[in-house]
Amino acid sequence: MIDLSVTRDWSIFNAQAYLQEYYADIGAENLAILDFLVRTLRDVSPESVLLDFGGGPTLYSLIASANHAREIHFCDYLDSNLEQVQMWLEGHPQAFDWTAFIETTLILEEADCSKSSIVLRENEIRQRVTRILHGDANLSRPIQTDVSGYDVLVSNFCAESATEDIEQWRKFVRNITSLIKPGGKLIMSTLKGATSYGVGNDVFPAVNIMEADLNDLLINLGFDRTTIEIDSVPADRPSRHYQGLIFVTAIKAA
């Protein structure tokens, strides 16, 4: 059922309210996301060129990625989100504080998580992120890039959190994954069984998908079916308008 109060006006997406709502603490959902990223990036070559598609105002996926990429490109649809990321990269005093996420990622990596190691990882992220781009999943060429295909593409809560229409969701995922080179890796998190999601007093659309929808779509889009791995966790608070989170990795057929 579609919530009638859902907005399609992205200009009212409040980056700070979003960060407060979903990233103010490391609950079970965020711990599961960080653990997924650490596990799936572990075998990625440090020579990879990685794209975070639809990263929003968030940096958490760059923390583990910085250890496994020569270069990271970051994109989002909204300039206001890109500004938040840019503020953090520039060390702006009002930028969102990702320290707890960095510390937790280092613990999950079984690495040293002292203050100096946290600062070291912050510096690594700042060095690895070489491009901040505008992206639109509705376009067959979603970003302007000279990279012919990314080695690794990370996309968290983007395609299914940008529409309530399942056909449009399929189109978004097709366009996003077209940026991956043959043999390249997709690392994606999605909402599961969602109707919408709240940001402050506003409600944004989400498509209601389950694991089988993702599996079928990725096979359709040319991912090697033997490489598709899907996992899920339940939502960590009853106020959420979704049942849980789905985590998927897959390799695009060569």
Ligand X SMILES: C[S@@+](CC[C@H](N)C(=O)[O-])C[C@H]1O[C@@H](n2cnc3c(N)ncnc32)[C@H](O)[C@@H]1O
Instruction: By CB under 6 A, name the binding residues for ligand X.
Output: 10, 22, 54-56, 58, 76-78, 81, 135-138, 156-158, 161-162
- Residue 161 CA to residue 192 CA, distance in Å, equals 10
Nearest-approach distance from CB 58 to ligand X, in angstroms:
4
Nearest-approach distance from CB 151 to ligand X, in angstroms:
19
Greatest CA separation for the chain: 49
Nearest-approach distance from CB 19 to ligand X, in angstroms:
8
Minimum CB distance to ligand X smaller for 36 or for 77: 77
**188 CB-near residues (< 8 Å, 6+ apart):** 154, 155, 156, 214, 247, 248, 249
Minimum CB distance to ligand X smaller for 202 or for 253: 202
Minimum CB distance to ligand X smaller for 30 or for 48: 30
Tokens for 141, please give them.
Answer: 């060429």
- Residue 75 CA to residue 51 CA, distance in Å, equals 8
φ, ψ dihedrals at 241, nearest 5°: -95, 30
Nearest-approach distance from CB 94 to ligand X, in angstroms:
19
Among 135, 207, 197, which residue's Cα sits nearest to residue 170?
207
Minimum CB distance to ligand X smaller for 48 or for 190: 190
Nearest-approach distance from CB 49 to ligand X, in angstroms:
19
Distances (CA, A) of 164 to 8, 85, 131, 170: 10, 26, 30, 11
- Residue 112 CA to residue 106 CA, distance in Å, equals 7
Nearest-approach distance from CB 162 to ligand X, in angstroms:
4
Minimum CB distance to ligand X smaller for 26 or for 253: 26
- Residue 221 CA to residue 198 CA, distance in Å, equals 30
Minimum CB distance to ligand X smaller for 44 or for 137: 137
Nearest-approach distance from CB 164 to ligand X, in angstroms:
12
Find the angle CA(69)-CA(121)-CA(94) to the nearest 5 degrees. 115
Q: Which residue is nearest to ligand X (CB)?
A: 56
Distances (CA, A) of 240 to 124, 191, 244: 34, 10, 9
Minimum CB distance to ligand X smaller for 55 or for 244: 55
